[in-house]
Amino acid sequence: MSTPSVAWLGAGRMGTTMVERLLDQGFEVGVWNRTPDKVRALVERGATQLAEPADARNFDVAWSMILDDRALEALHGPADGLLSQGPGSLLVWVDGSTVSTEAASRAAAAASDAGISYVSAPVSGNPGVVAAGRAIFAVSGPDAGVEAARPVLEALGRATYVVGEQVQANVVKLATNALLAIVMQALAEVAVLGEKAGVSRADLLAFINDSAVGSPFSSYKTKSLVELDFTPTFTTEGQRKDARLALDLAAALESPMPLLSTAEVAFSRTIASGLGAGKDLAAVLLTVARDAGITLEPEM
């Protein structure tokens, strides 16, 4: 199957960008969103609007990109869910969301009962990374499902890492986003330390980025930390949700994560205080600065 048809379920910031990429590469795409008006621009670009998730049975691949466990559960509900009217021509249901392993396992079981492969394929990257074709995927599921999804994975990103035959990809994504929370909090803390000691944030981060501990992430977040531009690519609320999912998994497995526990509290304080609600996750910098008794100014 060189160019499968794709039913896309969920048109948030990330989902919309991914659909745009598929349309630009000539894929036939149907789109559904809980709020129908959000897919209007995609329909104008050539997508077909789907009335309900069950319409995905008329496509080769169904790909969901939704907010949380509850939204994933709703997609395979008995009424108008993705699996409610038989598989039709549908070969595989791919979920690219960041959800718990329990929710992913329930979705996989429902798909199996309906005779459809289920593939977990959470994405690493923000909408800008996706638009540039630089996203990567952790993928797990039955071999046949992974192969059916591969043309879409290759169209959307630069690399696919197959990590198992069940829902191991969800574990990989939770672990990655747990590290993201810890690193973001650490960057905020050292930026404030440097500020209080008379070192500009720009100078400090330039050195860090060129050092052994620098990373694409620290380089990417430098602009936010220096210019105090917290236009969201990934919100504080989204990061906290993922941290809590990782902590729930860790608790179930008796695997202590003290650093992540601390970072989750930091994100919760940033949200509850109003300093970071609705802002990019880098807004934890504002809470660190407040606790240190300083007010930051943008450096241009």
User: pLDDT tens for residues 263-296?
Assistant: 999 999 999 999 999 999 999 999 999 999 999 9
- Write the DSSP assignment of 108-128 as a string of letters: HHHHHHTT-EEEE--EES-HH
Alpha helices of 126-230 — where are they, by DSSP H? 127-131, 143-156, 168-196, 201-209, 216-227
pLDDT, averaged across the chain: 96
Residue 1 clears pLDDT 70, i.e. is over it: no
Residue 153 to residue 124: CA distance in whole angstroms: 12
Delimit the domains of the chain by residue range.
Answer: 6-166, 171-291
Residue 113 to residue 65: CA distance in whole angstroms: 22
Its pTM stands at 0.94
**Mean pLDDT across 157-181:** 98
Residue 247 clears pLDDT 80, i.e. is over it: yes
CATH architecture label of 6-166: 3-Layer(aba) Sandwich (3.40)
Helix axes 168-196, 284-291, angle to 10 degrees: 40
Comparing C-alpha atoms, which of 20, 48, 237 is closest to residue 130? 20
Distance from chain centroid for Cα 143 = 23
- Give me the pLDDT at residue 161, please: 98
Where are the strands (E) in the chain, listed by range?
A: 6-9, 29-32, 48-49, 61-64, 92-95, 117-120, 123-124, 136-140, 159-164
Q: What is the DSSP letter of 47?
A: P
pLDDT grade, residue 88 (50/70/90)?
A: confident
171-291 CATH fold:
N-(1-d-carboxylethyl)-l-norvaline Dehydrogenase; domain 2 (1.10.1040)
